[in-house]
């Protein structure tokens, strides 16, 4: 199983990991460590992949998998007894040892959070819609600590050389935070209103505006790194990698 250890100075009580597409049992086109149960893969294979991951990491409890809808709702762990079996949310927060926050992506930006004291962790799924609408800010609010006491790691997402968007996406960011204009480069004729967007820079700017000063990662491209990562823009029928964080 090929995993990536996030490179950030998280406290010793915080554990984080990033999966790749390597090391599972799923057949093509989901080869091989697909962790998404909603993409058309055989459910038995997905379950085997999830169990393999939990066993490999020696987790006390399995990760809490979300139904992600490109929104800004935040689930809190442990889940109440009345919660849906699969929470509908795009971020998750935990203050409980052994409760694993997990986010699945295949081009969207996964963001891991922890406080300097190592008492609270979170994970957020930030596609451009969720990012523009405030999923990172909502996650910070749910952590209930000062943003200046939070560090984040930006996991694998589509890179700035290939993430093409229309003018409406640029406007959604710039109208909220003018300095995000620096994260867009015009592609082709300006009259075509097509842009290359740097989702990592957009996240950094939104986080900085919210008061987060320590931001790490942001040096991958899921679209071009075919061997390690799933990419929905590259292959619409594909799997999902996961970003996980928990307290121990």
Residue 179 resides in a domain: no
Residue 171 resides in a domain: no
**Which stretches of the chain are DSSP H helices?**
43-56, 128-133, 135-143, 167-174, 199-210
Which residues, including other chains, have CB under 8 Å from residue 61's CB and lie 6 or more apart? 98, 99, 100
Domain, as residue range, for 235 = 3-163+198-247
Residue 103 resides in a domain: yes
Average pLDDT value for residue range 68-93: 93
Element spanning 84, H or E: none
pTM: 0.96
Residue 176 resides in a domain: no
Residue 184, pLDDT > 90, answer: yes
* pLDDT recorded at residue 82: 80
Q: How many domains does the chain have?
A: 1
Residue 190 resides in a domain: no
Return the C-alpha torsion angle 80, 83, 85, 90, nearest 10.
Answer: -100
Average pLDDT value for residue range 207-223: 97
Residue 60, pLDDT > 90, answer: no
Count CA within 13 A, CB hemisphere, residue 187: 16
User: Per residue in 154-176, pLDDT tens?
Assistant: 999 999 999 999 999 999 999 99
Residue 190, pLDDT > 90, answer: no
Instruction: Decide: 24 and 49 in contact? Cβ < 8 Å.
Output: yes
Residue 192, pLDDT > 90, answer: no
pLDDT > 70: percent of the chain: 100
* pLDDT recorded at residue 81: 81
* pLDDT recorded at residue 19: 98
CATH number, residue 17: 3.60.140.10
DSSP string of 42-65? -HHHHHHHHHHHHHHTT-SS--B-
Residue 180 resides in a domain: no
Residue 84, pLDDT > 90, answer: no
Residue 12's CB: how many other CB atoms inside 10 A?
Answer: 7
Q: What's the distance, CA 210 to chain centroid? A: 18
Residue 133 resides in a domain: yes
Residue 189, pLDDT > 90, answer: no
Residue 173 resides in a domain: no
What mean pLDDT is reported for the chain?
A: 96
Q: How far apart are CA 27 and CA 162, in angstroms?
A: 27
């Amino acid at each position: 199983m090929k995993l990536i250890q996030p490179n950030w100075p998280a406290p010793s009580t915080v554990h984080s990991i990033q999966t790749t597409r390597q090391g599972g049992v799923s057949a093509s086109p989901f080869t091989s460590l697909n962790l998404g149960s909603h993409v058309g893969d055989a459910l038995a294979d997905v379950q085997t992949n999830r169990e393999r991951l939990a066993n490999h990491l020696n987790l006390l409890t399995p990760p809490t998998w979300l139904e992600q809808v490109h929104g800004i709702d935040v689930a809190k762990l442990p889940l109440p007894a009345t919660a849906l079996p699969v929470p509908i949310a795009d971020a998750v927060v935990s203050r409980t040892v052994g409760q694993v926050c997990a986010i699945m992506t295949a081009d969207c930006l996964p963001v891991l959070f922890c406080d300097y004291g190592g008492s609270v962790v979170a994970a957020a799924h930030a596609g451009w819609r969720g990012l523009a609408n405030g999923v990172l800010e909502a996650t910070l609010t749910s952590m209930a600590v000062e943003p200046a006491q939070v560090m984040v790691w930006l996991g694998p997402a589509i890179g700035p050389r290939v993430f093409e968007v229309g003018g409406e996406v640029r406007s959604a960011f710039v109208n909220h935070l003018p300095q995000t204009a620096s994260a867009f480069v015009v592609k082709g004729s300006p009259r075509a209103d097509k842009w290359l967007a740097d989702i990592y820079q957009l996240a950094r700017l939104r986080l900085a505006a919210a008061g987060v000063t320590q931001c790490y990662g942001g040096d991958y491209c899921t679209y071009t790194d075919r061997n390690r990562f799933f990419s929905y823009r590259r292959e619409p029928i594909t799997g999902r990698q996961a970003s996980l964080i928990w307290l121990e």
